[in-house]
Structure 1
Amino acid sequence: MQSNITHPQTNATALAPKGSGAWKIAIIGNFSGLACSDGATSLLKRKHHRVTKDNFDEVFERLNVQLKLPICDNTISFDDIDDLNPDHLYQNVAAFSQYRELIQKLQSKAHFQDAVDQLQAKGLIEQTQTAAQVRGIPPENLLDSVLSSATQQSNAEFSVEALIRQTIAPHIEAQLDPRAEQYVGAVEAAATDLLRSIMHASEFKQLEASWRCLDFINRKLDTDRACHLHLIDANLEAIKKDALEHAANVEASELYRNVIADKAIAGNAPYDAILLDINATPNDAQLLQFFARFAQAANVRLLTGASLDTAGYTSANALLDNQAATAQSDAWLQARSTAGAQNLFACTPPFMVRLPYGAKTKPIESLRFEELPSTSNKASFYLWGNSAYLTLMSLVNKNNSIDSLPFHVTYDDDGDELLIPTTGAYLPASAIEKLEHAGLSVVQSVKNSDSVLIQRWVSFQNHP
């Protein structure tokens, strides 16, 4: 395979599956959350789950998807992909039970005073100053303080009472005659803070993004005649450990034996492509070197995601502002020089998986929830997915354009309309060239459109 592949349509031979039929594709990632990360099952024993339009929900249920987060006192279980939303969290996470009870009482004439008494008993209603001021804690730092404290006491009993007491307080102004709407708004604001913190915990974001990306390509691709998708549920830390232990002998690794060697049986077609659902950073040079060797040994195309800082840029703005790139490390350049790097494709930037929840975008039923905070730094509160999934679609469909992707129409600080494209920023040709020179395969947003382009397939190997 060439190191710099042009449009898929013009290079059909290089991008054809090994056999004469459908593409056989393995997708490796942590799709079960807690159940996979507990280390109970080795990589050697991870099952290959065929995913189709008809059995998607069944596969989800079979994996027993769960998460245990430091800021929650109970394990969160998900029965299907529709459970990966704020309504499910609000109704099923124990920490929200007292929020729900308070709101119900505040909205009931018969129980309003009881709710007020509860707030007073918790010290949330002060005659002259807010509870936050009494405690000497700046209101904007309260939630961070509580969540940090909860994280540190992993072996102690989680105190929902303390969370309720400390997070609602900054949202209530001290008044002698408070109205119900004010208190309901305060409780909802506190619940929003906690809900936002859960949804944007790294573990939850990874889980939701992986499932929604898989759901997208499963709906868009012909999974009967064009490709066969096989999901392999594996924890990233287990993969990294396996890679480091077998860096010198990839074929002895548990992952290689599971995905490649043990499937080399007469009548069992090998994989044509593998998607590794990670977002590689500059610290992952050894990991990508391992997977370059993996791709070489297996004679397979291997796709993964990569952050912009692997090309030396801290953000898209740094790239667009023509800031000087940080030089790639010796370890990174060595990885790019590894035999097999021509079969490895590191895809960037990530893409918007869904619109943020909110009254004007995706309202929820349980409460007035705005996923994006009012602060100026909102980019990290979007749900970004691995663009290797889009590159995979381009590979199977032999089409460099993918549409029906989300983009967000919002407003800047001056009230002017602002469009956030699918990949977060529009990249000019000069910026794309810089990323490609760094060994990245670029997914490009189309101006004022729900589409992206993958103009060139650029491998991870060093380029002149």
Structure 2
Amino acid sequence: MSSISIQDKLKQMIPHKPAWEYRLEPSVRITYAAMNHDITQERELPFVIGVMANLSGHVDAPLPSREFVEINRYNFDRVMQRMRPRLDLDVANTLAPNAGTMSIELRFNSLSDFEPQQVASQIEPLRKFFDVRTQLVALLTMVAGNDHLAERLWEIIKNSDPQQKPEEATIDDETKSGLVTAANAADGVYLLDHVIDEATIGRDDGEKKHVRQNISTLMKEVTAGTLLITKDLEATIATRIAEIDRLLSSQLNIVMHTKAFKQLEASWRGLDYLVRQTNTSSRLMIRVLHVSKEELSQDLDKVVSNQSTVFKLVYEKEYATIGGTPYGALIGDYEFGPHPMDMELLEKLSHVAARSHAPFIAAASPSMLNVERFADISSSHDLPQTFRTPDYARWRSFREGDNARYVALTLPHVVMRRPYRPDANLIHFNESITDDSDYLWGNAAYAVGTCLTNAFAKYGWCAAIHGMEGGRLKWPNNPETGLNCPTDLDITADHEIQLANLGFIPLLYRKNTGCIEFYTMQSCQRPKMYDSCVANDNSHRSAQLRYVLTTARFAHYVRLIIAERTGAFQSRVESERLLQDWIERYVASDDTATLDAKAQYPLREAKIQVAEVSRKPGSYQAILFLRPYFQLDAPATLRLVVDLRDAEAYR
């Protein structure tokens, strides 16, 4: 046991460095003695967020061959290229009447590839329309204010138009023949160059070539009958440009509003938000794994759960491996409802999360609240009554289990980008928003993850993750028109309380602030009820995500401390003494201590017991009783079980 008194610990906090050398905020820093070539070094575990999402859009390599990949704002595009997102779509063809459908293949190498111009460039008919539009816009710029050029082009077009009457011609038949073929034939080049020279446009051969191409495009449009000429050439060209814009917008709206496109774009934009809002470093990391919900379900649907790829990646490779970096939390870009398949998957994920002490954070689907859309929930909706029905029996049972403390589901959706407006993109794409379903809605779990990374970057652990201090985020994608808030449900105060009590993390919008906020961070676990008020308070806090996150971090250290010393102990007592001495480095039971002192000693009480696992001779578990109090409303004692029996297997 440690012989250092609380008073001695607090005396050690007397500043011995200039003030400017200290952090602006008190920060927790937990370390353990790691062995490196017979040299002992104090090592701090980084806080690692693991993101699991369907980021490919198509069937990829088998899941067992995939790995979590570290991602940050500097390698984002490289990671995206490595995952090769692709969509194969069959959509209605709106470019011509009764055109049927078109098959398209879209590839995405960067986030900008989801933007309308880049999408259009990958669809051959749209790319051609865009090229025509570009050349007509350039020609319109030349014609504007250049009366001579407009007049000469009018003469050329009028005399080359087969619909014109003979008496309307103003030049001889031989010249007219040359004009008709000017867009395609070499014998028309001289005539076009003559017009260009007369109009004093095109300073060199390169510019003249572009001007000639622009005029040729105009001639092709006239010949094809897609441009109806009038003497007001500017208006004629502008009308055709507007028609092309309409055709492009109509087709792009269909493509970009398909379910597959929206899901893929929302996932990448959600990941981009998390990455760009996180100051990644050697202490704070984000890793991403491409895996669809269906693949995840199939992977975990094994006779022996610890044979699944996800279990091996999260538990075996990091948590149970010497020198590994355990995941502090897992973000799942998935939605879960109350039906059996979703509940079975959630239960299996909770097992992985609890074994690895890495809370799994995902989203609740509208079906979880027995509605088709979150917007269907009225202010008078009785949410508690919905969850009392037989359809929610498995959900209620799940909430009673200890593993539910390691699962959190947030809601509703959050908008991932503003709708495209004609004046804000190069092809003047006008995104059609007929109702709320046309917005790009995404998973709010990315916002929860951002609160976690912000808290760790600032304070060294994840306690300040809710309310105004840690749960409020400036959301950059609040639509400027047509939508009052960036979520698809404006949650009332009553519903916020109800949802939290039902085991969810409600996302609120603070009106007139442009901010979203998590007022509470509740895990799915239903707090157990006792006869004692003190016990009930402790149970309620133990089910909150911030208490789980802060204590789980100590569990990671306990596992690695024992793994580092596999074979070095001859008794359970020695292991227990080592762990107890280590944990007491972070304990100071003085409620009046300064924030700096509490940051250095973030636990008010701590006790670790090492016990042999029943019916498994030689296998041990560490049972932790921790009472964290730095940045927490009130101390609560949490009991954690750390499995030590696999230490030898992963040495």
State the TM-score, normalizing by the size of structure 1.
Answer: 0.73
Q: Which residue of 1 aligns with 2:366?
A: 308
Q: Which residue of 1 aligns with 2:417?
A: 354
Q: Which residue of 2 aligns with 1:428?
A: 492
Aligned residues: 377
Higher relative contact order (CA closer than 8 Å, sequence separation 6+):
1
Give ranges in structure 2 of 5+ residues lacking alignment. Answer: 1-26, 33-42, 92-101, 140-152, 154-214, 229-234, 456-463, 465-469, 529-651
Q: CA deviation at 1:250?
A: 2.8
Q: CA deviation at 1:458?
A: 1.2
Deviations 1:437-462 (A, max 9, x none): 33211111111112111111111234
Task: Quote the sequence identity (%).
Answer: 22
Correspondence list, 1:161-240, <5 A? 180-224=237-281, 226-240=283-297
Q: CA deviation at 1:190?
A: 2.6
Deviations 1:408-446 (A, max 9, x none): 2325xxxxxxx5212234322101122223321111111
Give the conservation status (yes or no) of the 8 Å contact 1:293–1:339. no
Q: CA deviation at 1:197?
A: 1.7
Correspondence list, 1:38-77, <5 A? 38=60, 41-71=61-91, 73-77=103-107
Correspondence list, 1:252-271, <5 A? 252-263=307-318, 264-271=320-327
Q: Using the alignment, how far apart are the partners of 1:281 and 1:78 within structure 2?
A: 30
* Counterparts in 2 of 1:212 and 1:55: CA distance versus 1, 3 Å: same
Q: Using the alignment, how far apart are the partners of 2:416 and 2:31 within structure 1?
A: 27
Give the match's secondary structure for 1:260: helix
RMSD: 3.0
Matching of residue 272 in structure 1 with residue 328 in structure 2: yes
Matching of residue 31 in structure 1 with residue 55 in structure 2: yes
Give the match's secondary structure for 2:52: strand
Deviations 1:359-413 (A, max 9, x none): 36xx1102x211133x3x2x112112211111112223131211143212325xx
Q: CA deviation at 1:119?
A: 5.5
Give the conservation status (yes or no) of the 8 Å contact 2:50–2:330. yes
Give the conservation status (yes or no) of the 8 Å contact 1:106–1:116. no
Q: Using the alignment, how far apart are the partners of 2:260 and 2:119 within structure 1?
A: 14
Deviations 1:314-363 (A, max 9, x none): 43443343234544533433443444111100111121221111136xx1
Correspondence list, 1:111-130, <5 A? 111-112=217-218, 114-115=220-221, 118=224
**Higher Cα Rg: structure 1 or 2?**
2
Matching of residue 459 in structure 1 with residue 523 in structure 2: yes
Q: Which residue of 1 aligns with 2:306?
A: 251
* Counterparts in 2 of 1:44 and 1:407: CA distance versus 1, 3 Å: same
Q: Which residue of 2 aligns with 1:170?
A: none
92, 100, 103: which one aligns with 2:130: 100
Q: Using the alignment, how far apart are the partners of 2:88 and 2:265 within structure 1?
A: 14
Give the conservation status (yes or no) of the 8 Å contact 1:320–1:431. no
Q: Which residue of 2 aligns with 1:410?
A: 481
Give the conservation status (yes or no) of the 8 Å contact 2:412–2:489. no
Give the match's secondary structure for 1:371: coil
Q: Which residue of 1 aligns with 2:472?
A: 401
Give the match's secondary structure for 1:26: strand
* Counterparts in 2 of 1:256 and 1:70: CA distance versus 1, 3 Å: farther
Matching of residue 84 in structure 1 with residue 114 in structure 2: yes
Q: CA deviation at 1:98?
A: 4.4
Q: Which residue of 2 aligns with 1:294?
A: 352
Give the conservation status (yes or no) of the 8 Å contact 1:351–1:423. yes
* Counterparts in 2 of 1:405 and 1:105: CA distance versus 1, 3 Å: closer
Specify the code of the residue in structure 2 equivalent to 1:262. K
Give the conservation status (yes or no) of the 8 Å contact 2:475–2:516. no
Give the conservation status (yes or no) of the 8 Å contact 1:274–1:303. yes
Deviations 1:63-85 (A, max 9, x none): 22322222353421222222221
* Counterparts in 2 of 1:64 and 1:55: CA distance versus 1, 3 Å: same
